[in-house]
Every structure is written in C-alpha cells, then in structure tokens.
Amino acid sequence: MAAFNDSQTSLTLKKRPSRWPWILGLALVAAALAAVFLFWGDSQEITTSKTADSKDAKSDQALIVDHNTAKGNVPDSNLDSADTPPDSPKPSAHGKVVRIKTSESQNQVQVQGPAAEEQKARKKPYGVSKSLDAVLRSDETIKIGNKEVSIAELERKLVVEQRGEVIDKPLDKKPRITAWGVYMVRPGENLWDIHFRLLKEYMSSRGVKLAENADNPTPNGYSTGVGKVLKFAEHMVGVFNMKTRHMDSNLNLLEPGAKIVVYNLSEIFEQLAKIDPHDLSGVMYDGRVLLFPESQKAEPGGPTGSKKE
C-alpha cells in the first residue's frame, strides 16, 4: 500500500511542469517591450526637437520677404555685396555746424539751408534717408533750435557715461574721423520702433524687405535674427537729452523735441555689413557684438527669396 502511495506521488510530481521557464520568458518579453518604448520615446523627442528647431529657422526666414522681383524696385545703394562699412563723410562744404529745424508739432524735422542736399548724399551710402535726420562727422556739431552739442561730446557721454568704458585716443596719432547719425524723437515713438525702422530701411537698400512682424519672437519664444540685431542696436546707441545735456538712462521715456537718438554709424555698420541680408537665422548677439556662425539655410525656393543678380 505504501508503495502504491509513493507511486501516485511520483506521478503527480511528474504531471506538474516547472513554472520558471514561463516566468523567465515573460520577464524577457517585458524587458524587450520596455526597450522598444524607451527607444521610440527618445526618437520622438529627437524628432520633435529637430522639428521645433526647423520651425524656428523657417519662421525666422519667413519673416523676410524678397521684393527684388517687383517691377521698377531697384535699391538706390550698392550695399548687397558690402563687407565693409561705408567711409566716413567728407568735410562739409557748409561749415562744421549742421542745423536741424523742427516744426511746432515736432512731427517735421529737416536740415536747414544748402546742407540739405549734402545730407541726402551723406545718407545714401548707409541705405537710409528717412530713419536718420542727419549724418555727421565726429568733428562736427549738431544744432537744434537754439541748442547745440558737438559730436565729440556725444561720443564721450555715450562711451563713458552710458557704457562705462574709456575712449582710447593715442596722443601721437591724428584722431580717426567717424560717422554719426542723429534722429530727433517724434511724438508717440519708442526706441525699439525707431531702431526697427532704420533696420528695415537699411535691409531694403540691400534688396530685402522685412515683414512688419520680423522682430517678433519665434513660436518657441526665442529671438529671431532681426530681434538680435535690434537688441545689439539698443546697446550701441544713446538717447541724449538736449535740456539736461546728459545721456538718458530711461530709454523708454522719450520726450519729443528734447531728446535725440545718437548712432555711431561707423561702429554699427561695421557689424551690419557682415550680415547676409537674405538669411538672418544664424545671427547671434553676445551682449556686445553680433556673431555670425554658420546659418541655418532655408531650402531652395523657400520664403527667403534669392539674391539679386
């Protein structure tokens, strides 16, 4: 009888196969599925990142509208191939004081007398005619109404007062003559729009028309190339108060008739001349100067248009 029971127990044990192979197999399948999901997730993240970068680059480029194909639309300056800034203006035939007249409403500003035609010639190499009221040499003086200030004083106040830097002028050398631009603030204007208007006019002279929203951030919230150039301009210019005779620290509070925006054109256009006007996606700003790494070129036939022949 005991032998019979032992035999039954032996048969029962043989009928129950081990569960470990199944458990091991399920564990391997689960590990494989986890690896697949992780790989797929990383791939999606990389693809999404690349897509976002691509969208930003395309968005940056879409803000530029090529208008060279329009009939009769020929830029009146030769800046498209320029890689150096224009030379400083020649000495004026009308003396070293440039007089600016303003209307009572402060909306109309113009250079007085025979120097008006000379000013048109001075502005042309910079591709601007409306966004600056006057272009002067660093050894000249600007006079608005009964108030005047020398460009040398403006330079000193811009560099020393506003930037906290030192003007390096060796005593054994003749000082370099630089070009300066002056713009009289009109009612209702702000500094960003003043800069943007100048940049649009300059880019137009190089054969490219900027869209009205070209200074807006990309969909991901980053600055476009245009926005970076404008931030550079904000750092490089000064707002001079003709009443207090000091650079104004509150750049957003512009007083028509009392404040002028001052540009060191030689300094600014040395940077702008390096820009590829048809592709601003690679422009970077480090807080002081513009940098130009390899840009993200749009595909042929994209929204940037083509360079003029």
Tokens 């620290």 -> residue:
249
Q: Is pTM, for the whole model, over 0.85?
A: no
Q: Which has the closest alpha carbon to 151: 159, 142, 143? A: 142
The rounded distance, in Å, linking the Cα atoms of 285 and 267 is: 15
User: Pick the residue with more confidence: 47 or 133?
Assistant: 133
Residue 81 has pLDDT above 70, yes or no: no
Work out the average pLDDT over 210-235. 85
pLDDT in the model for residue 47: 43
Residue 140 has pLDDT above 90, yes or no: yes
Residue 1 has pLDDT above 70, yes or no: no
Q: Which has the closest alpha carbon to 177: 221, 138, 125, 207? A: 138
pLDDT in tens, 150-176: 999 999 888 876 666 666 666 667 778
Residue 88 DSSP symbol:
P
Q: How confident is the model at residue 50 (pLDDT cuts 50, 70, 90)?
A: very low
Q: Which residues contact 255 (CB under 8 A, 6 or more apart)?
A: 185, 241
The rounded distance, in Å, linking the Cα atoms of 85 and 254 is: 29
First to last CA, the chain: 109
Average pLDDT for the chain: 74
Percent of the chain with pLDDT over 90: 22
Residue 302 DSSP symbol:
S
Length reported for the chain = 309
- Give the three-class secondary structure for 283: coil
pLDDT in the model for residue 279: 83
User: Pick the residue with more confidence: 107 or 117?
Assistant: 117
Partners of residue 158 on adjacent β-strands: none
pLDDT in the model for residue 107: 60
Q: What are the two backbone dihedrals, phi and then psi, of residue 278, each rounded to the nearest 5 degrees?
A: -90, -5
114-128, 141-155, 198-212, 233-247 — which is least confidently predicted? 233-247
Q: What are the two backbone dihedrals, phi and then psi, of residue 120, each rounded to the nearest 5 degrees?
A: -60, -45
Q: Which has the closest alpha carbon to 229: 210, 246, 255? A: 210
The rounded distance, in Å, linking the Cα atoms of 164 and 161 is: 6
Q: Pairing mode, if any, of strands 97-102 and 141-144? A: parallel
